[in-house]
Amino acid sequence: MSSPLLSGWGRSPPSSPFVTPPAKLRLSRRLACRPRRLAALVALAVVATIVLFHARERPVVQRARQHAERLAQRVGRRRKTDPFLGLQYEEAAGELVYPAVSTPASSPGEPSLDSQPHPIHYLMREAEAAWEAKVSRQSQTLEEAVAEYERRYRQPPPRGFDKWFNFAQSNGVQLLDEYDSIHARLQPFAALRPSVLRERNLILQNVSQWDVGQTFWMHPLTVTIKVSENGSKVEAEGPMRHENHRSDQVMALLEGIAQFLPDLNMTITGHDVPWVVLSGEHKQMHVDAAERGEYIDDVASFKENWDLDGWALACPPDSPIRAAGTLLERLDWQKPDKTSFVGLDHTEAMDVCYHPDKQPLHGFTAWTGPRPGLLFPIFSFSTSSLNSDILLPPLEQYERTPGPDPAWRDKKHDRALWRGSTTGADLTNAHARKYSQRMRLARIPAATGVVTVPLASRDREGVPGPVEEVTALASSFADEYLDVMFTGGPAQCGDEASCAKVAREFEWDGYMSEAEQNEYKYILDVDGNGWSGRFHRLMSTNSLVLKSTLFPEWYSERIQPWLHYVPVKTDYTDLYPILAFFKGAPGDGRGGHDELAGKIALAGKEWAEQNWRWVDMQAYLLRLLLEYARLVNRDNPLASYDYE
């Protein structure tokens, strides 16, 4: 058997071309104000208020008491009237299906399905409540932050946590406790001995004594950044050092925080995409060992499995993709016959393992996938549910300003705009030409047939009313809802024949300035090869951003879908229903909710101003590197890398 260090991802660079997700378990839910539930909530609020009254001098308790008071107020409002009474839907791996695919009979006194309100009303309401709860529960002192860290992760924070906290708090970082993604991404590494992690970092740098004479295939894709001399020296070297500016961007982020770090090396890839893939079994082995506080020999336990393709192997053994057949068979995997929307957790909805039908629909995953290998500590600017890279905040296009930007009410166009290139797929591949995310988006305006959408046309005076279904020609929806075109000419198509096919199929537009784009109320943001570099600029405008992506980012747990932006499924089946809710029916515009769209646009802009500043990215990076430094130095006999 060949060494797993050279197997799968380790054997040679995969010829990765440049496709997303329904159902862990169908959890049927009803929002119904039942008397016994109401009584329980009231009792809970009363008990909580009594308990908190006796400890009211403590700040944490005062905030908790405010929560209890708000809960009691919400219970009171529900008692009077709740327009969402009896709303029936299903949640499936981050998506909301409406109405429920298998709808139970309504209970006595509950409204029937045809009198239920539009689910976007519910999603917006719940998003606002979730964000308010998240913001209000954040730690206010170092002591609270340490206690919350220990509660979440069952271990002490890393050494330097106090310096991180002081930096974050003094710079007004809003969410001081929301870094679960860092823990989740680093946890598998905790199952490897620090000496193994250091050795693999050297392998990435091609300076290891392992297997002299061979160059690890990932080495040409990397740059190593070294922090030394108490942070006073930060330097970079490696094959991609001068290929682009990404290592310079990371070093710029380190300015002002490097002095809080111990000496360390971090090896990053300068490419758009993530690279590290473990099998689902192997990753779970890492996580289980880390939770037990044990180390594993992942080389000895490595096993090849040729019964499944690479992407299926990268998923948990019990995930739906393992039983979803081939790439093309996954296109038709258990598609619901009802309207569905991304729910409140966009990251969950991105998980290809639980949404096999969308795997063929994104250029990054529209192939069989790489063979899983071993865990290497590579830092990348994008990742996915299938990858185990350590995620960095990318700075591509970060400093691009919004440009002239009219207020919402003054924007000239109320169609959804998208302009972009044909990146995001290897267009020499016929499947990618047909199914990848940007190609499918650009074809939507040319679709024929009819489209049926739910319309919130019966709302009255701010109270959601029952939906009606509206059917119209697909061309009518396209003409009134979309302004979608490729720009320039074919790119990333590989050969003249592929370029010619793409050039003939589409109409092409020229360059569109930021000022021209900002005249549109709705702007679509869609993945290219990796993460979207334009998202920061779009979120900084007065336009409503509709985002479709497969890549969770460093801020994903620090932003709230349906409050700050509108998430769009990778298959775009929700695009017209979303626009119908905000714009109204084609032709007469009835049932539109322009004011709610403007509300999200404003909240998104405020979010970017408050939560996507330079110091927010520095706070993320500093905490990430403190955690990483502990992982690679846990065997230091002279010093503890835990916060004490």
Q: Specify the pLDDT at position 218.
A: 84
User: Nearest Cα to 341, choosing from 494, 164, 561?
Assistant: 561
Mean pLDDT, residues 137-153:
98
Task: Report whether 44 contacts 414 (CB < 8 A).
Answer: no
Is the pLDDT assigned to residue 213 strictly greater than 70? no
User: Nearest Cα to 308, choosing from 348, 277, 347?
Assistant: 277
Distance between CA atoms of residues 344 and 341, nearest Å = 10
Is the pLDDT assigned to residue 498 strictly greater than 80? yes
User: Nearest Cα to 422, choosing from 486, 483, 517, 511?
Assistant: 486
Is the pLDDT assigned to residue 211 strictly greater than 90? no
Distance between CA atoms of residues 528 and 535, nearest Å = 12
Distance between CA atoms of residues 271 and 230, nearest Å = 29
192 Cβ partners below 8 Å, 6+ apart?
200, 286, 295, 296, 298, 375
**432-484 pLDDT, tens digit each:** 899 999 999 999 999 999 999 999 999 988 788 888 999 999 999 999 999 99
**217-227 pLDDT, tens digit each:** 888 889 999 99
* Residue indicated by tokens 């050795």: 199
Between 32 and 625, the higher pLDDT residue: 625
Indicate the length of the chain as a whole number: 644
Is the pLDDT assigned to residue 575 strictly greater than 60? yes
Q: Specify the pLDDT at position 209.
A: 58
Pairing of strands 95-98, 222-228: unpaired
- Percent of the chain residues topping a pLDDT of 70: 82
- What three-state secondary structure class fits 173? coil
Please confirm whether the linkage preceding 490 is cis (ω < 30° from 0): no
Q: Specify the pLDDT at position 243.
A: 84
- What three-state secondary structure class fits 434? helix
Distance between CA atoms of residues 314 and 638, nearest Å = 38
Is the pLDDT assigned to residue 189 strictly greater than 90? yes
- Name the pTM for this structure: 0.86
Is the pLDDT assigned to residue 622 strictly greater than 90? yes
Give 108's pLDDT tier (boundaries 50, 70, 90). low
Distance between CA atoms of residues 627 and 641, nearest Å = 9
Q: Specify the pLDDT at position 46.
A: 42
DSSP 8-state class, residue 361: G
Q: Specify the pLDDT at position 85.
A: 62
Among 8-22, 116-130, 421-435, the range scoring the smallest mean pLDDT is 8-22
**396-445 pLDDT, tens digit each:** 888 888 999 999 999 999 999 999 999 998 888 899 899 999 999 999 99
Token digits for 121?
Answer: 């009303």
Q: Helices (DSSP H) in 574-613: which residue ranges?
A: 575-583, 594-611
Distance between CA atoms of residues 5 and 200, nearest Å = 9
Give 345's pLDDT tier (boundaries 50, 70, 90). very high
Q: Specify the pLDDT at position 82.
A: 57
Mean pLDDT, residues 107-133:
81
Domains with residue ranges and CATH for the chain: 408-615 (3.40.50.2000)
Task: Report whether 218 contacts 275 (CB < 8 A).
Answer: yes
Is the pLDDT assigned to residue 263 strictly greater than 90? yes
Among 167-181, 331-345, 401-415, 549-563, the range scoring the smallest mean pLDDT is 331-345
Distance between CA atoms of residues 471 and 584, nearest Å = 12
Give 190's pLDDT tier (boundaries 50, 70, 90). very high
Among 1-5, 117-121, 285-289, 379-383, the range scoring the smallest mean pLDDT is 1-5
Among 371-375, 497-501, 511-515, the range scoring the smallest mean pLDDT is 497-501
Among 12-21, 267-276, 293-302, the range scoring the smallest mean pLDDT is 12-21
**23-79 pLDDT, tens digit each:** 332 333 333 333 344 444 444 444 444 434 343 333 333 433 343 343 333 333 233
Between 490 and 461, the higher pLDDT residue: 490
Q: What is the mean pLDDT of the chain?
A: 85
